[in-house]
């Protein structure tokens, strides 16, 4: 029997164990930044907004990426596996039919979209264009994810109730801190997602901010911050988590199957509001 508002028990195809008590937000927005270690961002005066989200939300202080370079980490957090991707080269669109967050969410009747800054047009599978890079957009690698669910960031709703159940926001190569400073990325986050974060606080919704990888100098320890009504304000967790655990948590919020290594992952715990 499911506990109202605390996720669902695992059913057929999910094994005998019950899913941990995770919330079921009306909306989840995941924002992915680039190439910075935990110590470069958390507690830094260059990231006042992200730190304010952690102070009034939750910070995972032992959050880790899977590998280097960037692209395999995106595939890991989206599909529970790197799908044979080992570098940042552009992939053939639709090369994989493996289960992934988007296919799983839609299979249980929920909605999915991505919002990609500097993407030339909705659904464009181009390799690179200006400050846009396909390597940060793993959904294009899956034939079971419709390309028309990939939008430019301009399409991000201003009426947040119109957001899909689960969405990813991917800033461009400057805004994501890859080519520009931590301060640039932090300001971008405040300018573009603060309104949603404020709304999420009173509308059973969640903002999850994470990084693809560190700077190769900190054992791949990265910042991961959660904010919104389902989160206990001011909470932290020192439990070790990785991209597969983040994926597992999102899956268990909506009672989906588990993609790839998420099947062996664990739910984020100890930070949720009662």
Residue 69 near residue 214 (C-beta atoms within 8 A): no
pLDDT for 8: 35
**What six digits make up the tokens of 233?**
């304000």
Q: Residue 54: in which H helix or E strand, if any?
A: helix 48-55
pLDDT tens digits, 163-211:
999 999 999 999 999 999 999 999 999 999 999 999 999 999 999 999 9
pTM for the model: 0.93
Q: Is residue 12 part of a domain?
A: no
Residue 20 maps to a domain: no
Confidence of residue 20 (pLDDT cuts 50, 70, 90): low
Tell me whether residue 244 is in a domain: yes
Residue 16 pLDDT level (bands cut at 50, 70, 90): very low
Strand partners, 167: 29, 113
Q: Which two tokens stand for residue 163?
A: 């957001």
Residue 274 lies in a domain: no
The half-sphere exposure of 45 on its side-chain side, counting CA atoms within 13 A, is: 0
Q: How confident is the model at residue 83 (pLDDT cuts 50, 70, 90)?
A: very high
Could you list the residue range(s) of the whole structural domain that residue 39 is in? 27-264
Residue 167, sorted as left (phi over 0), alpha (psi -120 to 50) or beta, turns out to be beta
What is the average pLDDT across 11-38? Answer: 76
Check whether 245 has a pLDDT greater than 50: yes
Q: Which of 51, 8, 53, 10 is nearest to 197 (CA)?
A: 53
Classify residue 136 as left (phi > 0), alpha (psi -120 to 50) or beta.
alpha
Q: How many domains does the chain have?
A: 1
CA distances from 107 to 40, 168, 257 (A): 38, 18, 9
In whole angstroms, give the CA distance from residue 79 to residue 139.
9
Q: Is the pLDDT of residue 9 over 70?
A: no
> What CATH code is carried by the domain that includes residue 62?
3.40.720.10
Percentage of the chain modeled with pLDDT above 90: 92
pLDDT tens for 138-161 read 999 999 999 999 999 999 999 999
Question: Can you tell me the distance from the alpha carbon of 200 to that of 272, in angstroms, rounded to the nearest whole number?
Answer: 14
């Amino acid at each position: 029997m499911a506990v109202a508002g605390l996720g669902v028990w695992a059913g057929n195809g999910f094994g005998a164990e019950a899913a941990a008590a995770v919330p079921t937000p009306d909306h989840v927005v995941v924002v992915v930044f680039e190439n910075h270690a935990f110590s470069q961002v958390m507690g830094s005066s260059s990231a006042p907004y992200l730190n304010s989200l952690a102070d009034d939300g939750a910070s995972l202080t032992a959050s880790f990426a899977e590998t280097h370079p960037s692209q395999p980490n995106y595939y890991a957090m989206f599909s529970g596996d790197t799908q044979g991707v080992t570098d940042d080269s552009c992939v053939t669109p639709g090369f994989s039919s493996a289960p992934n967050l988007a296919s799983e969410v839609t299979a249980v009747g929920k909605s999915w979209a991505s919002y990609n800054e500097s993407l030339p047009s909705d659904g464009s599978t181009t390799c690179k264009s200006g400050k846009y890079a396909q390597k940060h957009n793993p959904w294009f690698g899956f034939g079971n994810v419709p390309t028309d669910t990939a939008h430019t960031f301009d399409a991000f709703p201003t009426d947040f109730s119109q957001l899909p159940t689960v969405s990813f926001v991917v800033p461009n190569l400057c805004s994501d801190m890859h080519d520009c400073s931590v301060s640039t990325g932090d300001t971008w986050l405040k300018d573009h997602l603060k309104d949603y974060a404020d709304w999420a606080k009173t509308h059973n919704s969640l903002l999850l901010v994470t990084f693809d990888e560190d700077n190769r100098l900190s054992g791949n320890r990265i910042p991961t911050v959660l904010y919104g009504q389902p989160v206990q304000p001011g909470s932290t967790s020192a439990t070790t988590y990785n991209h597969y655990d983040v994926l597992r948590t999102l899956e268990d919020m909506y009672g989906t199957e588990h993609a790839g290594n998420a099947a062996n992952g664990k739910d984020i715990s100890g930070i949720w509001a009662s």
